Structure 1
Amino acid sequence: MKLEDDEYLASLDVVDLFSNVSVSKAINTVIERIGQSEAFCESSLTKTDLRDLLTLCLQNNCFTFNNKFYRQKFGLPMGNILSPLLADLVMDEFIKTHLKEVNNKLIRYVDDIFILTKMTKTELEIFVDELNLRKETIKFTYDSIAIGSVSTKTTDNNVIELANPKALRSILTPPTDALLPNDRITFEQYQQVQFGWTRDQLTNYVGSPGKVMSSSIDNQNIIQVQYQGPSPNIIAIAGFGFLNEKLFTKTQFNFDFTANYKITKEQCDRIQIGWTYQEVRAAVGNQKGNVVSESGTNGNIGMTVQYTCIKDRQQNVDGIVTLAFVNDK
């Protein structure tokens, strides 16, 4: 696609997408969209049923830190199977509402937005500042570069390919707030990453620095590093948390396709608080489950495991069973 000399490629990056998507907004977006689905309208589920199910799944995300249990108060839970889909829906709605004036020259890849525009850098700065002043939790950082031509195609490298590829990388790499095409990790690599590693060890092992974010729990600064899964066609995210420059937690979403971990409601009801992981496995046919998060700090080991609960006659859809273990209990 040939562009005029005064056109720019503007890169808008969403700041911590999952953490800044309001759960209530995500649920409202789903309820609004689902009414357009013929399959849903013909099912026995009501919008109230769906709202209750989504609320249950999204507002009961628990994790451990320093041997304490916490419940996530805001944002989409990282390890929840619904989060990528809901974040995508919210972003799509945001673009339709607030970026419609540039929508004809806009391409989005997850939380990275590329706009072809004639805005100067000053105008782009004002445009993004106005976006960030809206009463929305989604905020942006940006950059731009003048280019003469650009071709668009779907490749493993990204949805956009510049005449000068180094220019695109220079846009995305200065801060650490965007996942680059080579920020990928396999499930086997994820499993081999060890608690106590430094960020340099992780970078050297994976071969790229990943997307770096910071957060705070109990006034302690934590660095989060994210990677994508190996396939560009499947949304999969791995996260690694560093405290005092040492890895203490890791999470994964949509990486484990080695088995379909299904249990019955009877098996779920049989599980007791205080059981060990091995006791749980014995009760569910020795299935290990999908280990979505692990943590290790101050001698305490934590693990969160998920199973799919097969629907029965009283249920319309399969459920998700989440089990949290601290020191194997």
Structure 2
Amino acid sequence: MLLFKHILYTSPLDNEHCDSIFHLVELCLRQNYFTFENVFYRMEDGLGMGNPLSQSFAEIFMSFFERKLVFDNMNNPYRENILFRFRYVDDVIVCWTGDRDELNSFLCWLNSLHLNINFTMELEEDSEIPFLDLKLKRLNNRISFSIYRKPTQTDHIISFSSSHHLSQRLSGLRFLVHRLFTTPLSSEDFQSELNIIRHMAVRNGYDVGWVDALVRKEDIKRLNNEASILQQHTPNSKYMRLSYIGPLSTRLGNVFHNHDIRVAYKSPNTLYNLLVHNKDSVPLLQRSGVYKLTCGDPNCNVVYIGRTGRTLQQRISEHLRSQGMDNCDKSIFGRHLRLNNHPFDPEKDARIIHPSGFGLRQSVLEEIEIFCHIDDVSMVNLNSLSTHVFPRLFDVLKREPNVEGIVTSED
């Protein structure tokens, strides 16, 4: 945080904005606790996985470490041995002009600069060295490139028989073809890599014609002017996500496409979602969203549909607070429990129908659920309804003789 604070306060922003940004970022980074088997843990060092700020702050630190502590450090005794260097996240390639002993000494010095930074080193063999997904080779005072694959890498991509939209199935081949054209390969290496891509396609159920079609498309893109390609995309394009369940989703996507809406397909059921559950689930009462309360009396069919941006436990406590106060009618559900002396167990009689944060989506989901429960919903907060989905729903509910409404402040 000291590094970020220094960068922030030396920026053109005034101190008032710097103070606000710094305290907000500090608050976000301190939310680095998690639960495991009902025990709370807090990270004492490092950045939390999944925090949207972690990647940015890791890059800020690595950039500072590389620039200030190593290559711009006047006390670095090995500066003259570094001909050039390039870094991608935490992978660094360096061209070294000294001998092997000096290189080992440089690595020891590098790892002594920070307690939590520990670099490992890989040296070139036969004038070749891998870096990321490339293999670099020194050849006649120049560097040639080829595609590098780890020994453990498999040839698996999304199978052609998989229940994915065609654009998703072709994404793996599309990436490989795009890399083929954007890497400066020799004609021999280009043809060798193209043969590997064709082999991978056949092994995963694709016809070689798909690869040839992607190659032609990529070749045409290279021949076109890049500026004209950018002009074809309108800045006001609309996007939407659609679950892919087969050809029906494709036909539905074509309908949206005819109305200038671009569709991104997603797979609702994956092996990961079905098999991997490595996080403790959030307790029901600690969630927010559209909820349903049911009267605990077995002979009573009263149901309440509501929404909350806070935890369901907080919202239920407000309903029950009205139950215990004779002159408090802030909750029609609590008033019902009080007047009829009916029981209510939050653990059994309450559930979240749609987990979501407070906002338009939650409001729309609430109206949909009220519409779906129109025959059995007997209580609803009329003030929380709008005209997002069903413009006449509000008037319909007011005319229903079995629906009791009360105007309260929105949750």
The normalised TM-score by structure 1 is 0.41
Q: Which structure has more RCO (C-alpha within 8 Å, separation ≥ 6)?
A: 1
Q: Which has the larger radius of gyration?
A: 2
Q: Which has the higher helix share?
A: 2
The normalised TM-score by structure 2 is 0.34
Q: Which has the higher strand share?
A: 1
